[in-house]
Amino acid sequence: MNRSTIQQPSFALVVSPWAALIAGFAAFLIGVWYAGMQLNENGYYITVLAFGLYAAISLQKSVRDRAGSIPVTGIYCALS
């Protein structure tokens, strides 16, 4: 019987994507804030950012779950 050990990712591998996500999120929000648009346009772009972040994180999680043999529906992957 083969037992595979699950290795934990290094600290740098965990922190660097989170730092990039936060930096990109902050840069986008600062850009929207100083763009001089009307409030409804700012809300539109912030909503698009929120939906995009949800889709990216959700797709990443569903791919990881499928790789780990955790059932994920095809509809959920397609929506993400």
Tens-place pLDDT, residues 22-80: 998 899 989 988 988 888 888 898 898 888 888 888 887 877 777 777 777 777 777 76
Confidence (pTM) = 0.62
Query: What is the arithmetic mean of pLDDT over 3-22?
Result: 80
The domain tally of the chain equals: 1
Whether residue 3 is contained in a domain is answered as: no
pLDDT given for residue 27 in this prediction: 92
Whether residue 58 is contained in a domain is answered as: yes
Whether residue 34 is contained in a domain is answered as: yes
pLDDT given for residue 26 in this prediction: 92
Whether residue 17 is contained in a domain is answered as: yes
Phi, psi for 72 (deg, rounded to 5): -135, 130
Q: Hey, what are 1's tokens?
A: 């019987």
Task: Please state, in angstroms and as integers, the Cα–Cα distance from residue 47 to each residue in 14, 25, 31, 63, following that order.
Answer: 26, 12, 14, 24
Whether residue 5 is contained in a domain is answered as: no
Whether residue 1 is contained in a domain is answered as: no
Whether residue 6 is contained in a domain is answered as: no
* Phi-psi group of 33: left, alpha or beta (phi > 0 → left; psi -120 to 50 → alpha; rest → beta): alpha
Whether residue 56 is contained in a domain is answered as: yes
* Domain of residue 25, residue span: 11-79
pLDDT given for residue 9 in this prediction: 74
Give me the sign of the Cα torsion angle 53, 58, 61, 63: negative
